[in-house]
Amino acid sequence: MKPREGIISSSMGDEFVLVPVGDAAKDIHGIVRLNDTGSFIWKGIEQGLDEQEIARRLTQEYQGVDLDGALAAVRDLVRRLRDAKLVE
């Protein structure tokens, strides 16, 4: 899994956004805002980490998050990102 070509991530003020450019902008209109957890997961995707490793790192970053809950959150967001054509 990796970000689709033409998707740029950026912090805009206190928000983290995904912006399609080039050919990606033909399929994806507008920007996608991610919360803190979503941006953490996105950065893991950019690093080439798999879902299991991203979930493990979430448990280290956020107190009280267990591995099963973190993995469910990662899988849910990855599914939505794929549906939105943001990741391959």
pLDDT one-digit tens code per residue, 22-79: 999 998 999 999 999 999 999 999 999 999 999 999 999 999 999 999 999 999 999 9
The rounded distance, in Å, linking the Cα atoms of 23 and 14 is: 27
SS3 (DSSP) at 6: coil
Cα distances (angstroms) measured from residue 58 to each of 15, 37, 73: 19, 8, 10
Confidence at residue 55, expressed as pLDDT on a 0 to 100 scale: 98
pLDDT band at 14 (very low <50, low <70, confident <90, very high): confident
Confidence at residue 78, expressed as pLDDT on a 0 to 100 scale: 98
> Is the per-residue pLDDT at 13 higher than 90?
no
pLDDT band at 12 (very low <50, low <70, confident <90, very high): confident
> Is the per-residue pLDDT at 11 higher than 90?
yes
